Structure 1
Amino acid sequence: MPLTPDQQAEIDAARGESQQTLRATVPGMEAHLYKAHEVLDHGFVRVIDYMGDDSAITQAARVSYGKGTKAVQNDEGLIRYLMRHWHSTPFEMCEIKLHVKLPVFVARQWIRHRTANVNEYSARYSILDREFYIPQAEHLAAQSTVNNQGRGAVLQGEEAARVLDMLRGDSMRAYDHYEAMLSQDGQDGLARELARMNLPANVYTQWYWKVDLHNLFHFLRLRADSHAQYEIRVYADAICEVVKDWVPAAYAAFEDYRMGGAQFSARGMDALRKMLAGETVTQESSGMSKGEWREFEASLKG
């Protein structure tokens, strides 16, 4: 289980406390506060704090644009306008702080999103738990023959069992050696900051991750996409469920324009105009590469 009894008791105690406040609160987010949403085999995402709501976005926009927003009839319409025209600063008025438990190799992908504040569990000061991400059999896939970053067919039978045995065995063996190297129980062992180098990339770490809504949407657009690696996508999916309860109007606009929409290059737009005019367009006549054409066709199919 992702949570120990002590951690669950701490969460229950935090949720049992309540304080009066004059700041904006969102019932949907209040229900999420401190709760752990389980992800993968030992991971979780939980909301520690948040600031702002849908009205904070429109409030900031009206301060910034004044008379320019008078044609917009309501807050939802204004939010859709801001999303449609790629405005960013109004969405930066909302922030969220998450506690995330995740495998190290997922964390190294995640940290590429540098527009956030991060404080990670330190293996220099503390000893990491014996917890590793071991994929379910249905997520064991071979390398894609089309996409250098993607997965191909799922491994079956003996091959899947062989890979799982190696993953489990290597993980446990590495942790055994990690423990044996540590300076504890009176022996002259290795410093924690050095012993940690022996741990595999599937060991779990934790961090607090604070980000504004604009940059969170950018993260979700990339990581909740069907082409993202499964192990980070499930975290993004869990966060999506939180965000839609936090800023429902903004999330609906994000889903419509970013997740459900498509962006075309100049060549793509030219090809689309010709298709609408009844002309036959091929990859060769479009001027696109094979990869561009494949992505263009995928966008049209939805």
Structure 2
Amino acid sequence: MSITPDQQAEIDALRATPRPTLRAVSEGMEKHLYTAIPVLDHGFIRVIDYMGDDAAITQAARVSYGKGTKAVQNDEGLIRYLMRHWHSTPFEMCEVKFHVKLPVFVARQWIRHRTANVNEYSARYSILDREFYIPEPDKLAAQSTVNNQGRGAVLQGEEAARVLEMLKADAGRSYDHYEEMLSQDGQDGLARELARMNLPANIYTQWYWKIDLHNLFHFLRLRADAHAQYEIRAYADAMCGVTKDWVPAAYAAFEDYRMGGVNLSAKGLECVKRMLAGEAVTQETSGMSKGEWREFEGMLGR
């Protein structure tokens, strides 16, 4: 992980000067505030700011003031009810702002989630650092033969070494040319906004990313899933840990109903009822396509 001296000084100063506040505070989130959590080889996430906690969710759902006389158990039950019945608005009352350092190719996948506010480091105005994501050997995998978007077996021996050397050499060469094109030694050089186009997709960028809890849960449901690309999943996993400390009741409901639960189609539900009644249901009698049936059996662990 690469935190610059200036960033570390800012973190130390902010954490050294706590201030009293009347706003809702999550003790679990306070321990994460400003602190960088390492991800991949040079990346990190850190919480810059947040708003709300579990109580903010139930307060919004009840449209009342304060905690009132409701017990904690009632709050947890209400949060689980909201999650179970897809009531999203109360979860939108909580927000979090992350500072994220990530490879450009991960950022381009991440930005597909358009429900956040994003401000990215500008290579038009500043020069990017010589930092590239180079996968660990056990993350170098061949193309999957059954999934056009996935990975297959891990590369071994000479093939793995060959690929790693190419990744390192190409990244270094591209950055060398980037610096040469900028030509800051008395030559005119190329504009930064043009010189950056030669940089590889594994170079690191940074951004501030602010999102409400409902849409954060949607991001985590997709990107912390076992089928997500490893590199973005590493960031999602780190965010899961932070979110669990921030809103423990909401995260527990999210884990149960979204991460650990499944959604059945009307045909799938009908098949379950028929199976419980003792009928031997097959793909041919289910009314489902082969793909639907395969996914359905996967949900049932068959």
Which interval holds the TM-score relative to the shorter structure? over 0.9
In 2, distance between residues paired with 1:284 and 1:146?
Answer: 23
Structure 1 residue 290: Cα displacement: 2.8
Residue 245 (structure 2) pairs with residue 212 (structure 1): no
Structure 1 residue 235: Cα displacement: 0.3
Matches within 5 A, 1:91-106: 91-106=91-106
3-state SS in 2 of match to 1:217: helix
Runs ≥4 residues deviating over 6 A:
none
Residue 288 (structure 2) pairs with residue 292 (structure 1): no
Structure 1 residue 183: Cα displacement: 4.1
Residue 41 (structure 2) pairs with residue 41 (structure 1): yes
What TM-score do the two structures reach when normalised by structure 1? 0.94
Query: Match for residue 258 of structure 1?
Result: 258
Query: What is the letter of the counterpart of residue 124 of structure 1?
Result: R
In 2, distance between residues paired with 1:224 and 1:203?
Answer: 23
Matches within 5 A, 1:100-115: 100-115=100-115
Q: Quick one: structure 1 residues 273 and 194, their matched pair in 2 at CA, closer, same or farther if it must change by over 3 Å?
A: same
Matches within 5 A, 1:59-208: 59-63=59-63, 74-208=74-208
What TM-score do the two structures reach when normalised by structure 2? 0.94
Structure 1 residue 291: Cα displacement: 2.4
- Deviations, residues 10-59 of structure 1 (Å, cap 9, x unaligned): 21121111111110111111110000000000000000000000010001
* Paired residues, number: 296
Cα-Cα RMSD: 1.6
In 1, distance between residues paired with 2:52 and 2:108?
Answer: 29
Q: Say whether the 8 Å CA contact 1:220–1:240 is kept in structure 2.
A: yes
Query: Match for residue 270 of structure 1?
Result: 270
3-state SS in 1 of match to 2:210: strand
In 2, distance between residues paired with 1:277 and 1:131?
Answer: 60
Q: Say whether the 8 Å CA contact 1:182–1:190 is kept in structure 2.
A: yes
3-state SS in 1 of match to 2:31: helix
- Deviations, residues 67-92 of structure 1 (Å, cap 9, x unaligned): xxx9x971111000000000011000
In 1, distance between residues paired with 2:290 and 2:205?
Answer: 40
Structure 1 residue 5: Cα displacement: 3.4
Query: Match for residue 14 of structure 1?
Result: 14
Structure 1 residue 232: Cα displacement: 0.3
- Mind listing any 5+ residue stretches in structure 1 that lack a counterpart? 65-69
Structure 1 residue 3: Cα displacement: 1.6
Query: Match for residue 27 of structure 1?
Result: 27
Matches within 5 A, 1:46-57: 46-57=46-57
Query: Match for residue 67 of structure 1?
Result: none
Query: Match for residue 67 of structure 2?
Result: none
3-state SS in 1 of match to 2:270: helix
Query: What is the letter of the counterpart of residue 118 of structure 1?
Result: V
Query: Match for residue 282 of structure 1?
Result: 282
Query: What is the letter of the counterpart of residue 121 of structure 1?
Result: Y
Q: Say whether the 8 Å CA contact 1:183–1:191 is kept in structure 2.
A: no
Q: Quick one: structure 1 residues 11 and 275, their matched pair in 2 at CA, closer, same or farther if it must change by over 3 Å?
A: same
In 2, distance between residues paired with 1:36 and 1:242?
Answer: 11
Structure 1 residue 271: Cα displacement: 2.0
Q: Quick one: structure 1 residues 100 and 73, their matched pair in 2 at CA, closer, same or farther if it must change by over 3 Å?
A: closer
- Mind listing any 5+ residue stretches in structure 2 that lack a counterpart? 65-69
| Percent identity of equivalent pairs | 82
Query: What is the letter of the counterpart of residue 192 of structure 1?
Result: R
